[in-house]
Structure 1
Amino acid sequence: MILPGAEPFFLPGGEKGVLLIHGFTGLPAELLLMGDFLQKKGFTVLGVRLAGHGTTVEDMSRMTWEDWMDSVRDGYAVLAGCCSSVSVVGHSMGGLFALLLSTEEPVDRVVTLAAPIYIAEERGLRYLPPREVCTGQFVPKARRRLSGVPPAVNRTYRRMPLVGVHELVDVIGRTKGCISQVTAPVLIMHSRDDHTADPRSAEYIYGQVKSKIRRIFWLEKSGHLLPVAAERETVFAEAAAFLQASGE
């Protein structure tokens, strides 16, 4: 059963579609404010729910990164069926899926929000046990309660499956392996105080994509949760302007 408020959302608008992809252990609701903003700018918006998210952490532990990618592919197919073009915005791990999708489908534009090519040292990834001993193992995932956001945003998992962390690492590896195939225009948004996705990630993406149009937009005090943090209105406005542009 999907948790209340954790459902995918569809916001009808104009001919241009935008697919919104949440991150690891996240929910579509984390991108709902951004979706509302983009709809008001004339876009048709779909916020997908990645498989195993918004239900139970045990459910998530049974999913692979390909299951999550299939959720993204399904969302793209829905939007492509009702829009003349589809752009993709992804937060955190969702940003990696946005890049991957652009290597498979004719994506108009890509926006990454705190996409993690490098995980910050303080997250202790170096202590991750081997995959074979991670099945059925969970660790706490602390996050402060946020205000002024959709209620479901504060219902994210408070534990994460260690086998899922291995799947996240696999997504990173997959992205690094094909990032040179990314040619769609890319806006890379990252906060300098991100203690989850090391800010070096933004520089890596910028340097490795083959997009003729690519730009980094730095924030200063948003941490990792760009779509719901203090500078979110700036994030929304910059992303919308990039998605509306053409022929740059």
Structure 2
Amino acid sequence: MKEYPVLDEAQSIYREGNEVGILVSHGFTGTTQSMKPLADAYAQEGYTIACPRLKGHGTDPEDLEKSTHLDWMNSIDEAYEWLAARCKKIFVAGLSMGGTLALYAAASHTEIAGVILINPAIDIPSLENVAENADERFIAAIGSDIKKPGVRELAYSKTPVAAIGQLIQLMGKVHDQLAEIHCPILIFVSEEDHVVPPDNSEMIFDTVLSEHKELVHLENSYHVATLDGDQDLIIERSLEFFVLYSNTQ
């Protein structure tokens, strides 16, 4: 099997800190570069951080074409196990498909202390149409949907249609697990998003059975809000969330 070199700024991020761990996940076709501002801010507060490079990402689109949603779930499971060996309490946070995977983790590990989602993906009809009707192996890039001028996401320049099919399978599985999630949840949703319809966040908010849940609307960001105009707000509110739910349960 061909080995693909990892792009600069796409490497996994692991930082050892205190006994509260944060699992941070990037999104579909993206890299850890999109989550590094959050990972750095969380680590600066002393938290232990695991931000894995999802299999098939941060290398070459042909590498992603060969990967499956089970591979991405396994990337999350490995990061969770790394945190569980070091931490007494674990939170998960994710952008886009990273949010989907964060929900997967929360449904799989009922001991998770809380979930933070940024423009999470659970149902994208436009991509379903592509997966069913595309006659090419690749379509145009979907990354770097950012409102702030001069900011770019490190993401693939084209999107494998086969991987879109895997994303759809992942979203379907996680959609069916939403009612199994009971931990506190904080959802950030951009009012204008050209990748994931904002109603995905509302659907998740309405379906999870969390007693403590909040939906925060972002006015200054498109899809990749972690690199956009609301980055500071996301960091500030998520740090407050960690403090609040680290001291409960």
Q: Structure 2 length normalisation: TM-score?
A: 0.90
Identify unmatched segments of 5+ residues in structure 2.
none
Q: 1:140 aligns to what?
A: 140
1:86-235 map, 5 Å: 86-105=90-109, 106-119=111-124, 124-125=126-127, 127-130=129-132, 137-141=137-141, 143=144, 154-235=153-234
CA distance in 1, matches of 2:187, 2:145: 25
Superposition deviation, residue 148 in structure 1: 7.7
Name the Cα RMSD after superposition.
2.1
Amino-acid identity (%): 28
> C-alpha separation between the residues in 2 aligned to 1:125 and 1:82?
38
Per-residue CA deviations over 1:150-200 (Å, capped at 9, x if unaligned) read xxx643211010011111111111111111001111111111111211111
The one-letter code sitting in structure 2 at the alignment partner of 1:98 is A
Q: Deviations over 1:37-67 (max 9, x none)?
A: 1112221111111000011110110111011
- Name the aligned partner's letter for residue 127 of structure 2: L
Q: Deviations over 1:98-129 (max 9, x none)?
A: 0111111121110011002233x7xx435314
- 2:83 is aligned with 1:84: no
Deviation for aligned residue 1:147: 7.1
- Deviation at 1:5? 1.9
Contact in 2 for aligned 1:95/1:114 (Cα 8 Å): yes
Show structure 1 runs of 4+ deviating over 4 A.
144-149
**Corresponding position of 1:43:** 47
In the alignment, structure 1 residue 57 sits paired with structure 2 residue 61: yes
Letter in 2 for 1:39: A
SS of the aligned residue for 2:186 comes to strand
1:242 counterpart SS class: helix
- Give the alignment partner of residue 19 of structure 1, picking from 17, 23, 42: 23
**Are the counterparts in 2 of residues 18 and 44 from structure 1 also a CA contact under 8 Å?**
yes
SS where residue 108 of structure 2 aligns? coil
In structure 2, give the amino acid aligned to 1:210.
L
Q: Cα 1:102–1:127, aligned 2, differ >3 Å: closer, same or farther?
A: closer
Q: Partners of 1:111 and 1:68 in 2: how far apart? A: 18
**What SS class does the counterpart of residue 120 from structure 2 fall into?**
coil
Looking at structure 2, the residues matched to 211 and 144 of structure 1 have their Cα atoms a distance apart, in angstroms, of: 30
Structure 1 gap ranges (5+): none
Cα deviation for residue 243 of structure 1 reads 1.5
User: How big is each residue's C-alpha offset from its partner over 1:57-79, in whole Å with a ceiling of 9 and x where there is no partner?
Assistant: 10110111011000000000001
Query: Matched residue pairs, number?
Result: 240
Q: 1:148 to 1:39 in 2, by over 3 A?
A: farther
